[in-house]
Amino acid sequence: MVQYVSSRSLLLSTLLFMVLQPYSTTALVTYNVVNLGAKGDRLTNNTKAFLDAWAAACGSASPATIYVPPGRYLLRNAVFRGCNNHAITFRIDATLVAPSDYRVIGDAPNWLDFQDVTGLSIIGGVLDGQGIGLWACKRSGQSCPSGATTLGLTKSNNILVRGLTSLNSQMFHIVINGCDNVKLQGVRVSASRQSPNTDGIHVQLSSRVTIIDTQIKTGDDCISIGPGATNLWIENVACGPGHGISIGSLAKDLEEEGVQNVTVKTVTFTGTQNGLRIKSWARPSNGFVKNVVFQHISMVNVQNPIVIDQNYCPRQENCPGQVSGVKVSDVIFEDIHGTSASEVAVKFDCSSTNPCSGIKIQDIKLSYRNKAPQSLCTNARGMASGFVMPVSCL
């Protein structure tokens, strides 16, 4: 038997269902920097408008978006400090421009600095550090400021940076310092191969950092990993020009936190000075490097494809001339292939008092001018397996 329900009864039932259901809705609040006085004309100083937008987002009880519409927005150095709102998104459809006079921000540690922030997303946008003038100053030998890092993430947690481009930073492009749970995805870094100290991404004193789907072209390390970096995952990265991916330099200080649980996979190095490198100064230190995996790596005309250097001293100036106290252990190099630009494709130059141990190389195929290159080992202990060229020195 079919039962029919009147439209009035159906309406009452629907209303009763909605009233009884436990639900909540959270409105998303958007703050457009233009409505707060910003102008994307490359000339107006927009620092106050951006900080006002940050303050408004911090004051919101709901998730908030700071929106930057198309244009070129001039900003001086700014610090965005953490607040009670743990769901703020910076959505940038524009280019943020540093002052063309490098002296304006040249002595600041960071141009744009997010400190003690939790739950931040930075989506899209271009950051133009306009560092070319400072690079020229440094090359001339004049007295110059050290330069500002373009983007600093400091003592912050649960951070996403996606689709961001960093151009011509004065110093480092992105620094992750003292953070937990940071993800960089689809980031692009670009600077001249002659640009000094312009590391693409630097990580230190941080845990659970992920860097994926990223392209870096710069004048220094594409990615540098400093003391206290743990549980770091790097995957699908294109590096070059640049100095490669480096753990270190370490042993700058006697008391120094170690580096551990680092995975670097599916990376292509093109025309870089180095490929995979671990470097430490030859001086006492209680630091260490352990549990590192390098795998599925392509080298294209790389000067030094695989390096452990515990006598690091760039330009051979003021070298400490001592012995590195950093202990390097349990490092795996697996499935690495391509071309070396020098005759020595693998070099393990380890500490005489703290020899490298647990070094494993597997399935390595590197060539130099269509012939087998060399490998050199000093104070390095480990094993080789699978096809290995150059012939292992372990």
pLDDT computed for residue 361 by the predictor: 98
Question: What DSSP character marks residue 173?
Answer: S
Contact (CB, 8 A) for 99 and 130: yes
**Which residue type does 57 have?**
A
pLDDT computed for residue 5 by the predictor: 38
- Strand 118-123 to 64-68 pairing: unpaired
CA 72 to chain centre: 24
Taking the C-alpha atoms of residue 325 and residue 281, their distance in angstroms, rounded to an integer, is 9
Question: What DSSP character marks residue 100?
Answer: S
Q: What is the pLDDT along the chain (394 residues), one digit of tens a residue?
A: 334 334 344 333 333 333 333 333 456 899 999 999 999 999 999 999 999 999 999 999 999 999 999 999 999 999 999 999 999 999 999 999 999 999 999 999 999 999 999 999 999 999 999 999 999 999 998 999 999 999 999 999 999 999 999 999 999 999 999 999 999 999 999 999 999 999 999 999 999 999 999 999 999 999 999 999 999 999 999 999 999 999 999 999 999 999 999 999 999 999 999 999 999 999 999 999 999 999 999 999 999 999 999 999 887 877 888 999 999 999 999 999 999 999 999 999 999 999 999 999 999 999 999 999 999 999 999 999 999 999 999 9
Taking the C-alpha atoms of residue 252 and residue 177, their distance in angstroms, rounded to an integer, is 17
Residue with tokens 């009147």: 6
Taking the C-alpha atoms of residue 303 and residue 36, their distance in angstroms, rounded to an integer, is 50
Enzyme catalytic residues = 220, 243
- Render pLDDT for 208-267 as a digit per residue (tens, 0 to 9): 999 999 999 999 999 999 999 999 999 999 999 999 999 999 999 999 999 999 999 999
- Token digits of residue 180: 């937990």
